[in-house]
């Protein structure tokens, strides 16, 4: 039986360690599911997981996966959607993985294949706790509001979702039921868009959470206009600064050890990283998937393609996202 250390102040993740020389695949899956539902963040340490074990562990829980087209990722086991993290060195602000798209994964898995001697910690933050701790005026301002994600299109994307690279206005107005976007023609260009609540309910917690692309867009991409509030205006800068300050205060670093596996509820926890000192030392595997025991977001379309099989969205041309 593994040693299980439940969360405590300053450590929001469950820590699971082997008793003796146990392997990660010997940990009872039902116990993992129970702990994941209750706490949302699990760190399995001391099992010495390699790439095949990391893959098998994640696939125990995920029926399907998604290819993350973010730039800078390198393949590790591309057949099974396992890639590195972004190979840059700068710090990353808090975000749920792929929260800029309507197919935000249920779970994010990270596996440490090579640990940095200094720097390069992954930081995690419970989005439910962030809502509890953010200034009351910001929380009131976000309650009942939605975030609007507006993005460009290109011919292959339109073909993928609408069946044609040059849709008519009637086709734009009536996409297939499984398509997660709405479309609009603006000054001759077709844009896609979707919206989500500014404060949402995670899969397994009946409490509001903050988990979206706002902090990464503003403080990494320097974009105050993506996503927008539901009235088309940017989220006020004072709100963003207050949310960032709260998230920074609540964030906890995971100082990687070789063989670590981190499993996050991507609907509840956000993650980021501290600056990487030596990128040659740090090798982190990633897998982003959809859980076989998920409670899908009720705003997902019926028969969502990412829950039918491993999902590979159309790749944007260079310079467009």
What does the DSSP 8-state code read for residue 119?
B
Give the Cα separation of 321 and 23 in Å (integer).
40
Residue 321, pLDDT score = 61
194-212 confidence digits (pLDDT tens): 999 999 999 999 999 999 9
Give the Cα separation of 173 and 221 in Å (integer).
31
Q: Which residues contact 242 (CB under 8 A, 6 or more apart)?
A: 134, 135, 138
| Residues facing residue 114 across a β-bridge | 283
3-state SS class at 123: strand
Residue 1, pLDDT score = 80
Do residues 305 and 314 lie in contact, with contact meaning Cβ atoms separated by under 8 Å? Answer: no
Residue 118, pLDDT score = 93
Residue numbers in the chain where pLDDT is lower than 70: 321
- In the sheet with 92-95, reading across from the earlier edge strand, the strands are 92-95, 269-273, 122-126, 252-254
Q: Which residues contact 60 (CB under 8 A, 6 or more apart)?
A: 25, 29, 32
3-state SS class at 25: helix
pTM over 0.85: yes
41-96 confidence digits (pLDDT tens): 999 999 999 999 999 999 999 999 999 988 889 999 999 999 999 878 999 999 99
Give the Cα separation of 207 and 143 in Å (integer).
12
Burial class (CB in 10 A: 0-12, 13-18, 19+), 57: buried
Give the Cα separation of 233 and 235 in Å (integer).
7
Do residues 64 and 309 lie in contact, with contact meaning Cβ atoms separated by under 8 Å? Answer: yes
Residue of 263, 250, 224 lying closest to 112 (CA atoms): 263
With vertex at residue 130, the alpha carbon angle to CA 124 and CA 132, rounded to the nearest 5 degrees, is 145
Residue 169, pLDDT score = 97
């Amino acid at each position: 039986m593994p040693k299980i250390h439940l969360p405590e102040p300053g450590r929001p993740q469950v820590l699971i360690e082997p008793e003796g020389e146990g392997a990660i695949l010997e940990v009872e899956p039902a116990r993992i599911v129970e702990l994941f539902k209750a706490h949302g963040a699990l760190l399995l340490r001391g099992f010495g997981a390699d790439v095949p074990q990391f893959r098998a562990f994640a696939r125990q829980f995920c029926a399907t996966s998604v290819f993350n087209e973010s730039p800078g990722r390198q393949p590790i086991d591309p057949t099974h959607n396992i890639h590195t993290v972004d190979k840059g060195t700068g710090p990353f602000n808090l975000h749920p993985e792929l929260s800029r798209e309507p197919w935000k994964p249920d779970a994010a898995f990270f596996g440490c294949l090579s640990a940095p001697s200094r720097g390069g910690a992954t930081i995690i933050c419970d989005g439910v706790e962030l809502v509890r701790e953010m200034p009351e005026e910001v929380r009131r301002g976000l309650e009942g509001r939605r975030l609007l994600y507006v993005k460009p299109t290109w011919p292959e994307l339109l073909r993928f979702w609408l069946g044609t690279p040059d849709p008519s206005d009637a086709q734009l107005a009536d996409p297939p039921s499984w398509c997660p976007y709405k479309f609009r023609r603006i000054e001759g260009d077709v844009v896609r868009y979707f919206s989500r609540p500014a404060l949402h309910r995670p899969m397994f917690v009946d409490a509001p959470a903050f988990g979206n692309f706002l902090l990464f867009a503003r403080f990494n991409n320097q974009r105050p206009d993506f996503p927008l509030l539901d009235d088309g205006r940017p989220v006020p800068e004072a709100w963003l600064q207050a949310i960032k300050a709260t998230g920074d205060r609540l964030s906890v670093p995971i100082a990687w050890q070789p063989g670590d596996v981190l499993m996050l509820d991507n609907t509840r926890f956000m993650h980021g990283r501290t600056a990487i000192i030596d990128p040659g030392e740090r090798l982190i595997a990633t897998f982003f998937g959809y859980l076989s025991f998920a409670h899908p977001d009720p705003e997902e379309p019926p028969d969502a393609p990412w829950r039918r099989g491993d999902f590979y969205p159309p790749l944007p041309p260079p310079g467009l996202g």
